[in-house]
Structure 1
Amino acid sequence: MRVLLVEDDIALAQGLQQSLRREGYSIDCVHDGKSALLAISAGSVEMVILDLGLPDMDGLQVLKQAKAKYKQLPILILTARDSSDDKVEGLDYGADDYLVKPFDMAELFARLRVIERRLGTADSARITHNNVILDTKANQVFLDGEAVSFSRREYMIVKSLMENIGRIQSKEQLENKLYEWGEEVASNTIEVHVHHVRKKLPKDFIKTVRGVGYIVSKR
C-alpha cells in the first residue's frame, strides 16, 4: 500500500518511514501542508498519515481540503493534540482515525490494518483462500500450514492480490503500491516479481488477465 506521511519532525518522519517500510508499506514523505495537497492531487496515494502541527498551515485544513476532493481517501491523524475537542474536530472533518503522540508503533500498525481492511475484501487480519493463508499482522504467508519466504515486494504483491480477491489489479496499481517517488521501475519489473511469487504458490493461484493485470479469482 502506498502511504503518504505528512510530518514536519524530520527525526520522527525518518523513524516512521523505516518502521512502516518494514511492515510492507511504500512510504512517500512530505513535511508541510502544501506539499501534502500536491502529493494527494497527483493521485497515487492510497492512505495518508497526517500531523496537524505543520509549519505552513494547520493540518486540519489539509484534512478538510483533501476530503473535499477525495472523500474516499483514508486519513489517519497522528498528532500531539490530545484534547477531546481536538479529536472530535478532526473526526468531524473526516479523519478515519486519530492517534495521539507519543504512541506505540504496534497500535499504529493495528489501526492501519483496520483501515486497509475497510478498503479491501478482508474482514480480519488473516485471509484464507484455498490452501493459502495471508496473515497481515505477522506479515507472513502460509501454504498448507508452512510459512513461505517472500521478499518485501513479493509479499506486497501477494497481499495486494489477496486483499482484493476477485478484483483485477493492474500493473500500474501494483507499481504504485510497491514503489515510492523517484524510484526507477523497469518496464518488466512487476512481471518479474509475479513470476517469482508464482513459483512459491499453487499453480494458477495468480492468474494473468492479458493486457489488463493479475487476479486471484474467487474460485
Structure 2
Amino acid sequence: MKILLIEDDLDLGNGVRIALTDQGMDVVWTRQMSAAWHQLTQQPCDLVLLDLGLPDGDGLQLLARLRREHGSLPVLILSARDALQDRLNGLDSGADDYLVKPFELAELLSRIRALARRSYGFDGELLSLRGLQLHMPTRRVSVEGQPVELTVSEYELLRLLMMRAGRIVTRRTLEEQVLPGGPGNASNALDVHMANLRRKIGDGWVRTVRGVGYVIDQETR
C-alpha cells in the first residue's frame, strides 16, 4: 500500500515513516501542501495521512481540493487540534478518520488497516473484491475460489488495480510502477500483459478507459 504522509514535524514524520515502512508500506513523506499536491499529480497513492498545521497553509484547504479532484481517496487527519469542533470540522470536510496527536503508533497502524479494509477490502494481507482475491504474502490469486497462475508483471498489474479499485489507474502509472522500460515502451508491453491478465482472470474485471488507463470497478457495471 502506497501512503502519502503530509507532516511538517521532523521527529513525528520520520517516526511514522519508519513505522509504516517496517510494516511493508511504501511511504512518501512531504512537509508542505505544495509538495504534497505535486506528488499527487506525479504518482497516485492509496491513502493520505494529513497534518492540518502546515507551513504553507491549512491542511483543510488541501483536503477540500482532494475531495474535488480525488473524490474517493482515503484521508486520515493527524492533528494536535483536539477540540470536538475541530474533529467535526475535519470529518465534515471530507476526512475518513481523525487521530489526535500525540498518538501511539500501534493505534495509527490499526486505523490505517481499518481504513484500507473499508476502502479497498484490504486486511493487510488479502485483497478481496467480488470473488477476486489476491493474497500478498504468498502472491496467490484466485477467482471464485479457483487458483489463477500469473506472471510477476501480471500479478503486479492486478495488485495495483485492486489496491485502487474504483479509481482509474493511468497507463503511465502502470508502466512506471510495474513494467521495465517505463512509459512509451515501444513494444507495447502493457497492452500485451493486460491482455494476458484479462484472459486468465476472465471477463468483467479490468475495464479500459480509452485514452486514459484501466480500472477495476468495485461493483459490477
For normalisation by structure 2, the TM-score amounts to 0.59
Q: Tell me the equivalent position of 2:96.
A: 96
Which digits, 9 at most, give the CA deviation of each residue in 1:106-158, with x for residues without a partner?
Answer: 313313413532xxxx587552787x74247x686366899x9x98x986534
What's the counterpart of residue 59 of structure 1? 59
Alpha-carbon distance, 1:77 to partner? 0.7
Q: Which has the higher contact order (CA 8 A, sep 6+)?
A: 1
**Structure 1 CA distance for aligned equivalents of residues 64 and 127 of structure 2:** 33
Contact residue 162 and residue 216 of structure 1 kept, 8 A? yes
- Secondary structure at the counterpart of residue 174 of structure 1: helix
* Alignment partners' CA distance in 2, 1:30 and 1:163: 22
Where do residues 11-160 of structure 1 align in structure 2 (5 Å cutoff)?
11-21=11-21, 25-40=25-40, 42=41, 44-46=43-45, 47-101=47-101, 102-103=103-104, 104=106, 105-114=108-117, 116-117=119-120, 122=121, 126-127=127-128, 133-135=133-135, 141=140, 156-160=156-160
Give the SS at the match of 2:28: strand
- Alpha-carbon offset, residue 78 of structure 1: 1.6
Q: Distance in 1 between matches of 2:99 and 2:130?
A: 33
Hey, what's the Cα distance between the residues in 2 that align with 1:18 and 1:155?
27
Shift of 1:50: 0.4
Between stretches 9-18 and 159-168, larger displacement belongs to 159-168
Return the letter of the residue paired with 2:58. D
Count of residue pairs brought into register by the alignment: 199
* Structure 1, gaps ≥5 residues long: none
Residue 204 of structure 1 aligns with which residue? Answer: 200
Equivalent runs, 1:171-210 vs 2, <5 Å: 171-175=171-175, 178=177, 185=182, 191=189, 204-205=200-201
CA separation of 1:166 and 1:5: change in aligned 2, threshold 3 A: closer
Q: Is the alpha carbon distance of 1:169 and 1:60 closer, same or farther for their aligned partners in structure 2, counting shifts above 3 Å?
A: closer
In 2, Cα distance between equivalents of 1:139 and 1:87: 39
Following superposition, the deviation at residue 26 of structure 1 comes to 3.9
* Coordinate RMSD, CA, aligned: 4.8
Q: Contact (CA 8 Å) 1:3, 1:48: kept in 2 or not?
A: yes
Query: SS of the counterpart of 1:94?
Result: coil
Give the TM-score normalised by the residue count of structure 1.
0.59
Q: Is the 8 A contact 2:52 2:79 kept in 1?
A: yes
Structure 2: gaps (5+ residues): none
